[in-house]
Chains A and B, each alone.
Chain A
Amino acid sequence: MLLSPYFSLAVLFVVALGFGLTPLALAWLWARVFSPSKPNAIKNAIYECGLESKGDAWVQFRSAYYLYGIIFLIFDVEAVFLLPFAVAFSGLGVAACLAMLVFVLMLVEGLAWAWAKGALTWA
């Protein structure tokens, strides 16, 4: 095993793991032996400059974000299909190019629809 070319890597791996885990283990030991945690209600309360915070911190989610998510998804999938075609189209025939052109035109029509609908204006 000592002759394996990966032996030094294994040593490095173990040392790196120890480098990360040793301070965590020491901190856990220190907390157990010397310094116990003492939580209480006020200490864990939300900080608001010394006042009691009232009510939820949840705000209403802006639903307009979903539209941009959908448009991104469509064009991302289109890109996934376009990329292998882009590297291999020189070896394919005319029929393949026409099929891909139809595919792209269909998605461009979708973009034109979204544009005309006003979905791309942030209002």
Chain B
Amino acid sequence: MAVDENLKIELGKQGIIVTSIQELYNWGRRSSVWPMQFGLACCAIEMIATTMARYDMARFGAEVFRPSPRQADMMIISGTVTKKMAPQVVRLYNQMAEPRYVIAMGACAISGGPFKQGYNVLKGIDRYIPVDVHIPGCPPRPEALLQALMTLQKKIDGQTLTGPDRPRHLDRDAQGEFPVPHQGEHDLEPTSNKGVWPVPITIK
């Protein structure tokens, strides 16, 4: 039973705030998204620059970068994910406590990027874990990372507490464990996680 937006604005002008539990919960969660200290390659340099003085990310609540996945809300995959590192990335994602979000920063994390032909490059981390925000760029500017954070905040704002489209962490039956790939003879096994990445159909 949400209050009409215009009524809210009018009441706000008079100094009366009307809110709901869902809004409060989402506001608390989006205003303090703590990232995990996780930088892989060049995009990590831009991520570090975003946390520093000029493009301060702490203003948005992403203040402390937690070294432990248990205390982090968000993982910024910044840099090329090699096939050797991929199992560790997926295991770290599994070890994060829910609610958890993933930002794929840069072309390499989205799809392999400029090193797509490499034998050891994983063609995008969204083969194994669900990604919430993708940032194109090589590397994306710190302002782009800030916009990604704001997009993530908007996404968190729109999440509901109950109902069929509630987020994964509120749903007991939603997938909580994403299988960790292991290095097989020629490639990672499995090459992608079912349900996370739709395998493209080759049309000959």
Give complex CA distance A78, B31 in Å.
59
In the assembled complex, A47 has its CB within 8 A of some CB on chain B: yes
Q: Which residues of A contact B177 (CB under 8 A)?
A: 40-43
Given A38-B169, A50-B91, decide whether A43 and B161 contact each other with a Cβ distance below 8 A.
no
Check: B162 CB closer than 8 A to any chain A CB: yes
Write the nearest CB–CB distance from B108 to chain A, whole angstroms: 18
Task: Add 8 more A-B contacts to A34-B162, A47-B95 (CB < 8 A).
Answer: A34-B161, A38-B98, A38-B176, A42-B177, A47-B68, A49-B92, A50-B87, A50-B88
- Check if B18 is an interface residue, CB within 8 A of chain A: no
Q: B70 interface residue, CB < 8 Å from A?
A: yes
Residues of chain A within 8 A (CB-CB) of B70 are: 47
Contacts of A36 in B (CB 8 A): 170, 172
Interface residues on B, range: 20 to 34
A45 touches B95 (CB 8 A): yes
Q: Which of B40-77 contact A (CB under 8 A)?
A: 68-70
What is the CA–CA distance of A42 and B182 in the complex, to the nearest angstrom?
14
Bound CA span A34–B160, Å = 11
Binding site for A on B (CB under 8 A): 68-70, 87-89, 91-92, 94-98, 161-162, 169-170, 172, 174, 176-177, 180
Q: How far is the CA of A60 from the CA of B11 in the complex (A)?
A: 67
The 5 closest A-B pairs by CB, nearest first: A50-B88, A42-B94, A40-B177, A38-B176, A36-B172
Nearest CB on A from B92, distance (A): 4
Interface residues on A, range: 10 to 19
The verdict on A51 contacting chain B, using a C-beta distance below 8 Å, is yes
Residues 21-79 of A at the B interface (beta carbon under 8 Å): 34-36, 38, 40-43, 45, 47, 49-52
Query: Which one, A38, A42, A47, A49, contacts B180 given CB within 8 A?
Result: A42
Give Cα distance in the complex from A14 to B79, angstroms: 55
